[in-house]
């Protein structure tokens, strides 16, 4: 039984180490995800800036079309003036021309505003694109570093998987099953040290007779409070 307990203890150590690696790998993956979503954010801000510029340009074009239309109207009306016989009609056409000219002034003012706005937006876009490319560069470096960390952890886990399989082979399947169940229900810790008459897993006292039996090493003893498998501090397997 002593031998089996030592193997269990070793298994526990390997599994805790692997749990630690897995959780660091998960953290690293979340870091990569966060970096990617930051990039996505800046990239979509660039997209919407581009869309805003396009919309402004389209508005300008529409205004310019109106301007061309009004200018053509004036030319036509001015040509018509020559053929007009009555004073009343003459005045009416002149009035039309005057209001078209007023409209043209307004359109020109609006077009100018659109041009200015588009220039502002382009300047903003240039800054954003600069930020984006800087971010992309930094991201590459940061992601490579994180990936290196992940690879290191995975290499450690891969080595331990072999040792773990050997340890499992060395104990009865029923015992391993029990160990796994305990790990599931006891936050990953199935084997704990007993010291000074107590369980270090739940910090409760163990009945003295039970504690004494641990020293004999004849049977597997579990904590009556947390059900974990108790071991005394002993030499590690090599
Ligand atoms: Zn306990």
Q: How far is the CA of 167 from the centre of ligand 1 (A)?
A: 24
The answer to the question of residue 75 being in a domain is yes
The answer to the question of residue 145 being in a domain is yes
Beta strand 191-195 pairing with 229-231: parallel
The string of DSSP letters for 168-183 reads HHTS-HHHHHHHHHHH
Q: How far is the CA of 193 from the centre of ligand 1 (A)?
A: 9
The answer to the question of residue 19 being in a domain is no
- Compute φ and ψ for 200, nearest 5 degrees: -80, -5
Q: How far is the CA of 144 from the centre of ligand 1 (A)?
A: 43
The predicted structure's pLDDT at residue 237: 46
pLDDT at 212 over 60: yes
Order across the sheet with 229-231: list the strands: 198-199, 191-195, 229-231
Do 39 and 140 fall within a single domain?
yes
Task: Write out pLDDT tens, residues 114-161.
Answer: 999 999 999 999 999 999 999 999 999 999 999 999 999 999 999 999
Q: How far is the CA of 223 from the centre of ligand 1 (A)?
A: 5
Q: How far is the CA of 204 from the centre of ligand 1 (A)?
A: 6
Q: How far apart are CA 148 and CA 201, in angstroms?
A: 34
Q: How far is the CA of 164 from the centre of ligand 1 (A)?
A: 25
CATH number at residue 96: 1.10.287.1700
Do 105 and 187 fall within a single domain?
no
Find the domain containing 151 and state its range.
26-159
The predicted structure's pLDDT at residue 2: 83
Instruction: Enter the tokens of residue 127.
Output: 């800054």
Global pTM reads: 0.72
Task: Write out pLDDT tens, residues 71-113.
Answer: 999 999 999 888 888 999 999 999 999 999 999 999 999 999 9
Q: How far apart are CA 100 and CA 80, in angstroms?
A: 15
Q: How far is the CA of 23 from the centre of ligand 1 (A)?
A: 25
pLDDT at 217 over 70: yes
Do 135 and 36 fall within a single domain?
yes
Compute how many other C-beta atoms are within 10 angstroms of the C-beta atom of residue 104: 17
Do 213 and 101 fall within a single domain?
no
């Amino acid at each position: 039984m002593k031998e089996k307990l030592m193997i269990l203890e070793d298994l526990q150590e390997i599994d805790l180490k692997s749990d630690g690696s897995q959780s660091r790998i998960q953290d690293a993956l979340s870091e990569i995800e966060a970096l990617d979503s930051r990039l996505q954010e800046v990239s979509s801000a660039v997209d919407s800036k581009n869309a805003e510029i396009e919309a402004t340009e389209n508005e300008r074009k529409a205004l310019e079309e109106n301007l061309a239309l009004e200018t053509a109207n004036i030319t036509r009306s001015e040509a018509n003036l020559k053929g007009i016989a009555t004073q009343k009609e003459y005045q009416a056409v002149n009035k039309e021309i005057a209001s078209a000219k007023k409209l043209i002034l307004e359109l020109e003012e609006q077009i100018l505003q659109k041009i200015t706005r588009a220039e502002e937006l382009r300047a903003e876009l240039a800054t954003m694109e600069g930020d984006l490319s800087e971010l992309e560069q930094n991201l590459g470096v940061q992601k490579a570093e994180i990936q290196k960390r992940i690879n290191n952890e995975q290499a450690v886990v891969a080595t331990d998987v072999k040792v773990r399989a050997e340890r499992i082979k060395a104990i009865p399947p029923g015992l391993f099953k029990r160990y796994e169940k305990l790990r599931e229900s006891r936050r990953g810790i199935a084997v704990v040290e007993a010291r000074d008459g107590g369980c270090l897993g739940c910090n409760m006292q163990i009945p003295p007779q039970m504690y004494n039996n641990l020293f004999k090493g004849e049977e597997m003893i579990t904590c009556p409070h947390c059900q974990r498998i108790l071991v005394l501090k002993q030499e590690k397997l090599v």
